Chain A
Amino acid sequence: MKVTLKIWRQKGPNEKGGFKTYQHDHVSPDMSFLEMLDVLNTNLIKKGEEPVHFDHDCREGICGMCSLYINGHPHGPLQTTTCQLHMRSFKDGETITIEPWRARAFPIIKDLVVDRTAFDRIQQAGGYISVNTGGVPDANEIPIPKKVADEAFDAATCIGCGACVAACKNASAMLFVSAKVSQFALLPQGKPERKERVQKMVAQMDAEGFGACTNTKACEAECPKGISVTNIARLNREYYSASISSYEWQVGGGGE
């Protein structure tokens, strides 16, 4: 099949970018979207041109590294990651527009590569639990109802790709943050830092410059892992109750 690609090219973070059109005549419907770009890049390199930079890693749909805003959808027309998207999802002769994630908190590094370390900083702010060292605890020592464990696992399937931010008209990261808060808030292991966690993660989310949620639910529709907006309602509950009932924590040592 043949496709026309309109790809966002940008030399660096502070350079002005723009669309460049490429004619791609050697596309197989069995190719993954990223393989199609690999072939394009091989041709560009052969011609002595700068290849298109894009993020990818496992190509198995589990790492969250690939991105790309394809024809108005993060990860393209299917609810999968871009690496799991195949060219059979497109028509022969179609024009495909490829853009980077657009959010102030995800600055462009080059072409289609954006800096998603804002997510890492949100995780570092509170997305962890405390575990004692020592002997290996028994796996089922703490009873957890199956339904609750399932819900926590559903939230934990978030791969942090940022499609929610890309899909949201407000570039809000609330689906991501809500999944990361929920996976611990639901489980007894997450209890010790429960209140502190949600307050710190929301504060970091706001500091990174992500927008606020207006419940359009576009994130849920586009999330390759099907994370539900139920988690955002839980994030809201967790945040309100934590703000009202938590002790006011202060940074710095105590005692002296």
Chain B
Amino acid sequence: MTWFTKFVSSSLGRKLLMALTGIFLVLFLAVHLAGNLQLLKNDNGHAFNVYAEFMSTNTIIQLVSKGNFAFILLHVFIALFLTIKNRQARGGERYAVTSSKSSIWASRNMGILGTLILIFLVVHLKDFWAQMHYGGVATVNYDGKEVRDLAALVGEWFDKGWYVGLYVFCMGALAFHLWHGFESAFQTLGLNHLKYNAVISFVGRAFAIVVPVLFALIPIAMYFDLKL
């Protein structure tokens, strides 16, 4: 097993872990978005509540969710470790003049964008996930079945203008993070080929725009009471 520890402690091994956890989190975002979009249905939160109840009680989903938390932590810790290493690599003296022409802004600021997303995640988990799992969410009765009314809780938060603003701002950070991260993950995995580069790049950029925009539209729609 020495080869394995050597592998994951090498710079390339750590990059691989960043890419793999990143891609898992991209998939998670897609699933999360599909669930959230049910909030826009004009059914008093019925579909969303049934979905949320299922997601917070199903054994397999709970297992995947544990993995998801582990991957988030892994992604954060390796990023922190690599960033420290990378800053040390520059040496004590930094350049007096630097140019930003040779790379895109998002690619140079993944750490700042990631930190913003992490702060958002903590707030987000505290207000919704922790309430659902450990807090007292009022229940509603659907055909004799008691279901926690998460939709009502979400609605309460999204009536606050500053909260909607914070949400939209953080989705902006997510968009920039994905703009570089999606494509970058494939490059790190070694999946770089002239035949497919354009497709990967297009899908990555489309994902980076469409997903955060849809996420951000939900609180905006709820703030203005717009329903489908």
Contact = CB atoms under 8 A, between A and B. Distances in A.
Interface of A: 6, 17, 19, 69, 71-73, 97, 99, 102-105, 107, 167, 169-172, 202-203, 205-206, 209-218, 221-222, 229-230, 232-237, 239-240, 243-244, 246, 248
B176 to A, nearest CB: 13
Contact of B16 (A167, A171, A222, A240): A240
A202 B11 contact: yes
Contact of A236 (B103, B180, B189): B189
A243 B107 contact: no
Interface residues of B, number: 42
29 contacts: A6-B96, A19-B96, A71-B97, A97-B97, A102-B95, A103-B91, A104-B89, A104-B90, A170-B87, A170-B89, A171-B90, A171-B91, A205-B11, A209-B89, A210-B11, A211-B86, A211-B88, A214-B107, A216-B102, A216-B108, A221-B102, A233-B187, A233-B191, A234-B190, A237-B190, A239-B10, A239-B12, A240-B12, A243-B7
Interface in B189-207: 189-192
Contacts, number: 135
Nearest to B192: A233
Nearest to B78: A212
A73 to B, nearest CB: 6
Nearest to A231: B192
B148 interface: no
Interface of B: 2-3, 6-7, 10-16, 82, 85-91, 93-99, 101-104, 107-108, 110, 180, 183-184, 187-192
Contact of A235 (B12, B86, B102, B103): B12
B115 to A, nearest CB: 15
A99 B97 contact: yes
Contacts of A169: 86, 90, 103, 108
